[in-house]
Structure 1
């Protein structure tokens, strides 16, 4: 766990001090996408190999849908409220 926080902290410091130039930022953005896709693929493989998860998919699917809808609605409500508080009622973005 310490390694994860060390790498996260190092990345934060590099970003905070602006040590990456424009080309480095573009490479970073592309590599993030590639590694994220690889992570999602590996998670899919792990889920597909787990028989318990496969057999529980019908009940998990409903819960996941409910969680997704509630999270999205909560996010929209929070943005709406914060916009009203910080931008004022009469201002338009």
Structure 2
């Protein structure tokens, strides 16, 4: 776990200090896409090989849909309320 945080901190320092120039940033973006696709592929293989998950998929899908819908609704409500609060304050000043 410590290795993950060390690598994350190192990446933060490189990004914050602007060590990578334009060409490096383009390469970084392409590498991120490749590694993300590989990660998603590996997760799909793991899920596909797990019989328990495949059997529970209908109920998991329903729960996932419910959580996604609730997260979207919650985000909309919070943004709406914060917009009302901060836009009123900004308009009065």
Query: Which shifted more, 70-79 or 46-55?
Result: 70-79
Where structure 1 has 5 or more consecutive residues not aligned to the other structure, the ranges are none
Distance 1:82 1:42 in 2: 39
CA deviations 1:23-78 (Å, max 9, x no partner) are: 11111111111111110010000000000000001111100000111111122222
CA RMSD of aligned residues (A): 1.5
Aligned length: 90
Distance 1:23 1:82 in 2: 38
Alignment of 1:1-93 (within 5 A): 1-86=1-86, 88-89=87-88
**TM-score, reference length from structure 1:** 0.87
Between Structure 1 and Structure 2, which shows a larger proportion of helix residues? 2
Distance 2:54 2:77 in 1: 34
Where structure 2 has 5 or more consecutive residues not aligned to the other structure, the ranges are none
